[in-house]
Amino acid sequence: MLATPDGASSELLSLLLPLHFFYAGEGIPLPAVELMDGADLPEPERGLLFHESDMTSSLKRFHGAGITLEVLAEERSDDYLMRMVALRRDDTDAAVEFGAIGIRLEKFEGPLRGEIERGAAPLGGLLEKHLIDYRSAPRAYFRMPADLRIAEILGAKVGVTLYGRSNELTDPDGFAFADIVEVLPANRRE
């Protein structure tokens, strides 16, 4: 299934919602997205994407470095926050993920909510820090060519094939509090 400027299905746009929100708001077409089976992802992308864990801890383990958050764009209402972000290694500042996230803030209180709203760290790292029990449930895996925006952020060439996933974070009762689109750099093995 492909997402094109003219013909993306509503199902695909739903899977890509946080990212689609920012692209549509700027009048920029989404890159073509091809859904695929997670087992068919190449390595190292399969090891980084094809699991039911958060990406922050997976990237931290893979790169052997802490992961920081760069907020590229943000929209918010009282209880909902949408961000386009880059996750970066804290030792080299290299981008290790481009993404977009929608967070239902009503689930969070006190210091954790404040840290989320300030963009103090990636959501997965904050949930871990505050000992929040949650589930990661990838909904789809995909490949896409890097457009100019994503290429610049990830240090890639325009058109290079990138891999990613659509993920949902839920509490133990199944309440979905975050929808995430996560895109990895091309074969970054640092």
pLDDT digits (tens, 9 = 90+) for 135-183: 999 999 999 999 999 999 999 999 999 999 999 999 999 999 999 999 9
Length of the chain: 190
pLDDT at 8 over 70: no
pLDDT band of 9, cuts 50, 70, 90: confident
- Residue 183 tokens read as 């895109």
Domains and CATH numbers, the chain: 10-183 (3.40.1410.10)
pLDDT band of 2, cuts 50, 70, 90: very low
List of E strands, the chain: 34-36, 67-76, 80-89, 95-104, 135-145, 161-170, 176-183
The structure's pTM equals 0.91
- At residue 11, the pLDDT reads 85
